[in-house]
Structure 1
Amino acid sequence: MCTRLRPPNLATMRDERLFSLFEGLDSLNGVGPKLKPVLERLVGGDTVWDLLLHLPERWVDRRVKDSIDDAVIGEVATLRGEVHAYNAPYSERSPHKIVLFDGTGFLTLAFFRADGRWLQGQFPIGKERVVSGMVEEFQGERQMTHPDHIVDPAKGQMPPPVEPIYGLTAGLTNKRVHGFAVQALDYIADDLPEWADTELVKARSWPDFKTALTRLHAPLEYDLELFELCRQRLAYDEALARESAFALARASRAKRASPSVPVNSETHAKLLQALPYKPTGAQFRAFDQISKDMASTSPMRRMLQGDVGAGKTLVSAMAAVQAASAGFQTAFMSPTEVLARQQFETMDRLLSPLGYSVAALTGRDKARTREGILMGLADGSIDVVSGTQSLFQQSVSFRNLGLVIVDEQHRFGVADRMKLAGKALSPHMLVMSATPIPRTLAQAVHGDLDVSILDEKPAGRVPVETRAVPDTRLDEVVGAIGRAIRRGERAFWVCPKVDIDDDDSTAVGRHAALCDQLNVPVGLVHGRMKPAEKDAALEDFRLGHTKLLVATTVIEVGVDVPEATIMVIERAEGFGLAQLHQLRGRVGRGDRPSFCILLYRPPLGETAHERLDTLRRTEDGFEIAEADFKLRGPGDMLGLKQAGATDYRILDLARHSTLLEIAKKDAESIVSKDPELAGPRGGALRLVRELLTPRLQAPTSD
């Protein structure tokens, strides 16, 4: 063990056993000023620990096979043979060829654009050589193109029996990265305690933490079962670190005092009686959970997750009524002005008949209007306010804020939510998302929140008929939209890009073409426009001033236009399933038949075909999310990467979902028994949290 005693960072009070791991990469032999930034870019950080977390993607078996005849086409092999022939290239494009023979068979080595004299020096006729690389078949012969290793067994070092293979970047070879990683293993302290449950480690046959890292980076033998066990062990460590952070956040929140907001059954009965429909069972269940949270004296932190059209706004209105009837104010924050005004209109329609005052506060308000709203919030005469980020500006104060509702919460950072929650002493908070996600991913992302799910659609919701159409039938689609507009309907046309010269499927280009073809008012909205311009274009479409809206995916969330009956998505094969489903959710909000046209450019690849077929087959957002998860993995399928929500370094959410469940139970058990993490197991947990929770944005109990 190489111990480097460096003074601790007093801001973090890091355990001295971890000092060495957080040394800079330039503490490694061979990492100088030029190589350091290249290595930092590869491993995503500047410490030895970041390098160790850059785990090998796989191992390659480099053991020398008994004979060339044992080589399997399509596999990496290490083979020994005598140089039988050298064939110079017959043209500039053809390779140099070296032929090895071992008595059982021939192996041709191919080298493109190589130095002939160098090759003849490396491969003298009659001399034995060991080569390692991918064995392919070419014109009925075994061939290895540009071997990974070339060794003279009489004097050179043989390839390692098993070689870890890493992700690379320009300027680094696999051999160098492996060498640095092996050096870095010496920085791991020998006296790290066991933070995982010992019975679990034993039952799973997992190695300890240091052994797992050591065996992955410096394997002694080719054992794929051991490779997987080491990955599992480290993935569990990461899950335990994250889940313990969630458990601590929840425990901390439970200690804080929050105003109890009791439910008023009589007022809620009036609200429900005024509805032209009966809420779903899922809406009642979700509100029951929210109502109980708000009545408690600990601050509610609940996620309301529901598919497009599942009725999240009604549930949030019921929560706002509970707050207002108890004398508390509600702040409803949306990511855009259009959404904020839509929510205002809905809340006003539902709450005003009950005697409650609802207002909208956005950046578009004139000074006099804004001043009146600010005064109403300060003196308590406004019960519910719907707005954008303007709600948490310093000039906005509340008399008695009791409930914060955040719509499309993944579009806001934790800091934004905390600013709004800071307008009162521990108000209750309800965050909402219209993006269904797999339960595994939900736990990984929202582990510090309680989750309510709306998994039913309101009765009478008109299904959206989804059709996949090749873009060779573009004129037919345009004609259908023209007929729909003449019937008084409206339509969306979504393009993947704003404006690229060499691509005709762009918002700007399509907008110009449709204006000429249809001779009707056509709106345009895309991400390069100023916020006020985007909001104005969306408002014109919502009010019917424009009949067709050409857009990029900026209209993916929340735009509510019941008259819109057609959604055309151009180059649909390039979109993710979850995104296609969200876009489709912009239509089918009225009582007319609605259609989603997936306009694709043939031929379709297998994955694209499966994606579009899934969308045609079902409107169930949770089923679609599961399919998207299997096709793409977590990635940024939900726009969550910006919040550091899926940035696991080791754990693969698709493969290690069961580890999250186990880690959650283990972390909750530890925190409940030792909330200060003062005991031996708690102290060990502090270490793994320091190592494996995100440094930029750890879970919070905001």
Structure 2
Amino acid sequence: MSRPELLFPLFADLETLEGVGPKSAKALAALGVEKPKDLLLLLPHSGIDRARKPSVRDVVPPTTVTVEVVVGAHFPPRSKGRPYRVMVQDSALEFQLVFFHARGDYLQNLLPTGQKRLVSGRVEVFDGIAQMVHPDHVLRVEDAAELPEFEPVYPLTAGVTQKLVAKAAAGAMARMPDLPEWVDAGQKAKAGWPDWADAIRAAHKPQSNADFAETTPARQRLAYDEFFAHQLTLSLARASLRRGTGRESRGTGALQRMVLAALPYQLTAAQTRAVAEISADMAAPSRMNRLLQGDVGSGKTLVAFMALLVAVEAGGQGVMMAPTEILARQHLAGLVDLAALAGVRLELLTGRDKGAERGRKLADLAEGRIQILVGTHAVFQKDVVFQDLRLAIVDEQHRFGVAQRMELGAKGQSADVLVMTATPIPRSLALASYGDMDVSVLDEKPPGRKPVQTALVSTTRMDEVVEKLRHAVGEGRQAYWVCPLVEDSEVLDYASAEARFQHLRAALGEGVVALVHGQMPASEKDAAMAGFVAGQSKVLVATTVIEVGVNVPNASIMVIERAETFGLAQLHQLRGRVGRGSAHSTCLLMYQAPLSEGGERRLKVLRDTEDGFRIAEEDLAMRGAGDLIGTAQSGLPRFRVADMERQTALMAVAQSDARKLLHDDPGLTSDRGKAVRNLLWLLDQDRAIRLISVG
């Protein structure tokens, strides 16, 4: 699919724009501007009132003012480092223009004595005299029209000035072709949106501060375009995954019944619903691409195992992948007993498997003797071959991108893909990151999970906390003690954990306290964890390595030191490590006073609710989307105009529009489909165009 010729001028080199040389082009790249089209969406974020005033006397300094003046005498500096001053007179007042490090000949030229000029800049009063230091604009009166009454202010970076961006943006706008409309006519009329080119022009020529609101028709239209293009790309990715026709994997239910009959409890309604949704997807001829979202302790592992059994019952194999070895081993531990109930062979494959042992596993896998494999990303390696892979389950999705999902799916020519996450995701983020997937939500806890009592305690009460801990350990209870993240240095984290470990060991006795941190060799880490799981040690001092997935039912106390330094989602995950057994559980959030407003709000939200979805919504409201999933590796789209958190409703509209369009016109061959292709090119979603042409 080649780019439409209509768009060529917007894809030319930046240096083809007036006023942009090689140096400026390089500087603009730091703003994400590489082609003229990128300038169209580099929108001003605020503006300056440059409306003409008769005199500086009419304003209250310090403020920006634009007046016509007659230039008076020049006073060059008497010594180095002193300013150069020029006297000017407006209709009612004489004041000074002040310049530092300026060349006299340049200023004589710019401001010839006796002539009229329009000056605009910030006026301040210094020693009773009004001054304008380095005016933003000095224009001849006949060129006054060049200065807009309300001047847009653009985002800048080193080596880029307002003047340069404004001029380059104007140059890019002059190249905008007349494009056919891609927004549905009914939607556009209902919302009262302008045409695309008019929306761009309006966004670059604000008339007042009100024009920067995301609710203005121009900005809303451009935000919708971004959401729409992004959702189209996700829907096309989903369609291409679907088109890779799946296999129909129909379970007999025999193995599932064996497991359910042996369990001491019943599935929750949410678990039953999720198992039914997944089974129906697996039985369908198209490939499953589903997200299983469940809060801490909602019973995702059991749902995942039921899905793996469907694959085995259908005569195939299943694989479950985790991001780290500790987690892979956790899954193994959680599934071993279930697999035994079903009489299914389950094995673990990680980067640690070497030589003959690895060779044996690979042979058993290729010949179908291993029915369920649990592993780390080691299962991506070329020599790992399945006899008949029907289902791939990926845990902790946000560590795997769309590309890896596809790669894993490719292992089984048509394997169904189920992704699990223990991080509840607010709806707007779910739309943005997983718009290509169907979602099953586990929104109730299995019976028997007790609420965790959460309290805020100041670090000044450290001795009391240690005393309580001694008491609890005496009663045979187990506890986690999570140490704060110190700076961004693993060495310091290690030091703080080490110091706390020594302190608690002195207080509670030898052999009672174990230590786990990121700097330890994996084998020592595993040994310390294993000792804690087995109940040999009673208190585990740790940095956040225990955040996800560790399961020790007997642990009923969680102390989080300097809790205010952690994010909400992280605190929620940590708290989820307790409350898994029959004992009443407690989580102590230790903070150092005084708390910042944000820190206090985070800890109170956590104290007041255990609902992960509410916590995630709060977290999103407080931190923003990029931080929430760590934008670098989240594969979250970087929108230039759209605001994912504040415009969720608009994103939902864009998603349903995108899905409807592709349902009616999957190859984008209609007139509107062709118009949409222009949008995809403009917004760098050419991946989407390749996905269509592949199909």
* TM tier, smaller: 0.7 to 0.9
Match of 2:677 among 686, 690, 693: 686
Query: For 1:574 and 1:69, how far apart are their aligned partners in 2?
Result: 51
Spell out the pairing of 1:304-319 with structure 2 (5 A cutoff).
304-319=292-307
1:380 aligns with 2:380: no
Provide the residue aligned with 2:602 in structure 1: 611
Contact 2:479–2:559 (Cα < 8 Å) also in 1: no
Contact 2:497–2:517 (Cα < 8 Å) also in 1: no
1:667 aligns with 2:654: no
Match of 2:20 among 31, 34, 48: 31
Contact 1:495–1:570 (Cα < 8 Å) also in 2: yes
1:321-361 deviation per Cα after TM superposition (whole angstroms, max 9, x unaligned): 22212211110111111111111122221122122111111
The amino acid of 2:577's aligned partner reads: R
Contact 1:244–1:664 (Cα < 8 Å) also in 2: yes
Provide the residue aligned with 1:515 in structure 2: 502
The amino acid of 1:607's aligned partner reads: G
Query: For 2:400 and 2:689, how far apart are their aligned partners in 1?
Result: 15
Change (3 A) 1:328 1:483: same
Spell out the pairing of 1:401-440 with structure 2 (5 A cutoff).
401-440=389-428
Query: For 2:311 and 2:259, how far apart are their aligned partners in 1?
Result: 14
1:86-119 deviation per Cα after TM superposition (whole angstroms, max 9, x unaligned): 9xxxxxxx99999999899x9999989899999x
Query: For 1:66 and 1:624, how far apart are their aligned partners in 2?
Result: 55
1:454 aligns with 2:436: no
Q: CA deviation at 1:454?
A: 0.8
Gaps of 5+ in 1: 1-11, 87-93
1:364 aligns with 2:355: no
Match of 1:566 among 550, 557, 579: 557
Query: For 1:145 and 1:556, how far apart are their aligned partners in 2?
Result: 57
Change (3 A) 1:525 1:195: farther
The amino acid of 2:576's aligned partner reads: G
Contact 2:256–2:306 (Cα < 8 Å) also in 1: yes
Contact 2:339–2:346 (Cα < 8 Å) also in 1: yes
Query: For 2:347 and 2:220, how far apart are their aligned partners in 1?
Result: 52
Provide the residue aligned with 1:212 in structure 2: 199
Spell out the pairing of 1:163-182 with structure 2 (5 A cutoff).
163-182=151-170
Spell out the pairing of 1:285-684 with structure 2 (5 A cutoff).
285-488=273-476, 489-497=478-486, 506-519=493-506, 520=510, 523-527=514-518, 535=526, 538-544=529-535, 546-639=537-630, 641-684=632-675
The amino acid of 1:206's aligned partner reads: W
1:150-170 deviation per Cα after TM superposition (whole angstroms, max 9, x unaligned): 547758747421222122222
Number of equivalenced pairs: 683
Change (3 A) 1:416 1:15: same
User: Is 244-253 or 577-586 further displaced after alignment?
Assistant: 244-253
1:431-479 deviation per Cα after TM superposition (whole angstroms, max 9, x unaligned): 0001111112111110110000111111221222222233333343344
Contact 2:40–2:173 (Cα < 8 Å) also in 1: yes
Change (3 A) 1:136 1:467: farther
Change (3 A) 1:370 1:226: closer
- Other structure's SS at 2:329 match: helix
- Normalization by structure 1: what TM-score? 0.85
1:478-526 deviation per Cα after TM superposition (whole angstroms, max 9, x unaligned): 444444444441313132237759x98x342332343144234555545
- Other structure's SS at 2:628 match: coil
Spell out the pairing of 1:163-312 with structure 2 (5 A cutoff).
163-188=151-176, 190-219=177-206, 224=211, 228-312=216-300
Q: CA deviation at 1:410?
A: 1.3
Change (3 A) 1:591 1:99: farther
The amino acid of 1:518's aligned partner reads: R
Q: CA RMSD in A?
A: 4.1
Query: For 2:574 and 2:122, how far apart are their aligned partners in 1?
Result: 45
Provide the residue aligned with 1:89 in structure 2: none
Contact 1:323–1:403 (Cα < 8 Å) also in 2: yes
The amino acid of 1:457's aligned partner reads: K
Provide the residue aligned with 1:55 in structure 2: 43
Provide the residue aligned with 1:9 in structure 2: none
User: Is 28-37 or 609-618 further displaced after alignment?
Assistant: 28-37
User: Is 30-39 or 289-298 further displaced after alignment?
Assistant: 30-39
Change (3 A) 1:599 1:99: farther
Query: For 2:238 and 2:169, how far apart are their aligned partners in 1?
Result: 37
Provide the residue aligned with 2:7 in structure 1: 18
Q: CA deviation at 1:71?
A: 5.0
Higher helix proportion, which one? Answer: 2
Query: For 1:17 and 1:464, how far apart are their aligned partners in 2?
Result: 61
Q: Percent identity?
A: 44
Contact 2:255–2:313 (Cα < 8 Å) also in 1: yes
Change (3 A) 1:102 1:247: same
Query: For 2:98 and 2:467, how far apart are their aligned partners in 1?
Result: 57
Spell out the pairing of 1:151-162 with structure 2 (5 A cutoff).
151=138, 157=144, 159-162=147-150
Query: For 2:385 and 2:17, how far apart are their aligned partners in 1?
Result: 54
User: Is 375-384 or 639-648 further displaced after alignment?
Assistant: 639-648
User: Is 64-73 or 269-278 further displaced after alignment?
Assistant: 64-73
Contact 1:569–1:598 (Cα < 8 Å) also in 2: yes
Contact 1:235–1:651 (Cα < 8 Å) also in 2: yes
Change (3 A) 1:327 1:134: farther
Q: CA deviation at 1:66?
A: 6.6
Change (3 A) 1:532 1:39: farther
Gaps of 5+ in 2: 75-81
Contact 1:481–1:491 (Cα < 8 Å) also in 2: no
- Normalization by structure 2: what TM-score? 0.86
1:389-434 deviation per Cα after TM superposition (whole angstroms, max 9, x unaligned): 1112122111111111111111123333333222222111110001
Query: For 2:326 and 2:310, how far apart are their aligned partners in 1?
Result: 26
- Other structure's SS at 1:34 match: helix
Change (3 A) 1:64 1:323: same
Contact 1:643–1:697 (Cα < 8 Å) also in 2: no
Query: For 1:468 and 1:142, how far apart are their aligned partners in 2?
Result: 56
Query: For 2:193 and 2:133, how far apart are their aligned partners in 1?
Result: 38
Query: For 2:130 and 2:591, how far apart are their aligned partners in 1?
Result: 40
Contact 2:39–2:169 (Cα < 8 Å) also in 1: yes
Contact 2:568–2:602 (Cα < 8 Å) also in 1: yes
Change (3 A) 1:460 1:175: same
Q: CA deviation at 1:530?
A: 6.0
